[in-house]
Amino acid sequence: MSAKKVSAAKSADEQKKEAALEALKLVKPGMSLGLGTGSTANHFIRALGEKVKEGLEVRGVPTSRATAELAKELGIPLTTLGDHPFLDLCVDGADEFDDKLRLIKGGGGALLIEKIVATSAKEVVIITDESKRVKTLGKFPLPIEIVNMGIKATAWKLERAFRMLGMNPKMVLRMKDGQAFRTDMGNVIVDAACDEIKEPERLEFMLNNIPGVVNNGLFIGIASRVIMATSKGTQEITAT
């Protein structure tokens, strides 16, 4: 019998943590940081909390209530965009990214604040496991945050916008505990299962131009780099 040692593949969660630890190396004393939302961002926040305990002085702007709670528990000083409108670095996860560093975000429902915070940062670093890298965006249903008033009318306008770009996604109102999921801003989310997103730039613009749409989960031209962990280590990807 051969005694060949097989190293166990890293789980997605282990990869997320590895990417988070790599991103932590970019944090310098005195920085104002955007703190993302989700399981990958949580790894970053926990590791940052350790550094803060050791004496690192930074401040963070959270992208969700959940992130604010976690950061507070860990003793990370928090601030707001009101007090610090220009951030040095934002670290967040993503649901999908492609070679042009176009992202789908919002799986955790925090897309609006994530986009406001990310676009206020000099550098936006996305941390992921390898499952998030795609050739074409769209396997992950695109989250669209809309105002609750007039949902049906907005949904019809969404359908029309998708059709204009040759898509006919199944759209589902996101639910939680038997009720429409509400974002931290009190809005609802429609998830559009596109399979393949055609012309992401045009789609992002067209969706955001519909009255009733607050924002959508396409993040284009925002990420400066992706730190992706793989079973063979971390890889840094910049836009091609």
Q: Which residues bind ligand 5RP (CB under 6 A)?
A: 36-41, 92-95, 105-111, 114
Alpha carbon distances (Å) from 231 to 9, 38, 150, 161: 6, 21, 46, 39
- With respect to ligand 5RP, which residue has the nearer C-beta, 145 or 157? 145
- With respect to ligand 5RP, which residue has the nearer C-beta, 91 or 157? 91
* Paired strand residues for 179: 176
Least distance from C-beta 66 to ligand 5RP, angstroms? 9
- Contacts of residue 229, defined as CB under 8 A and 6 or more positions apart, other chains included, come to 10, 14, 15, 16, 17, 18, 19, 22, 127, 128, 129, 130, 235
Least distance from C-beta 85 to ligand 5RP, angstroms? 22
Q: How many residues does the chain have?
A: 240
What tokens appear for 59 in the block?
A: 């401040």
- With respect to ligand 5RP, which residue has the nearer C-beta, 60 or 109? 109
Q: Quick one: which of 40, 206, 43 has its CA closest to 107?
A: 40
- With respect to ligand 5RP, which residue has the nearer C-beta, 92 or 191? 92
Least distance from C-beta 110 to ligand 5RP, angstroms? 4
Alpha-carbon distance of 137 to 134, in angstroms, equals: 6
Least distance from C-beta 113 to ligand 5RP, angstroms? 9
114 is annotated as an active-site residue:
yes
**Active-site residue identified among 18, 96, 114, 204:** 114
Just list the catalytic residues: 114
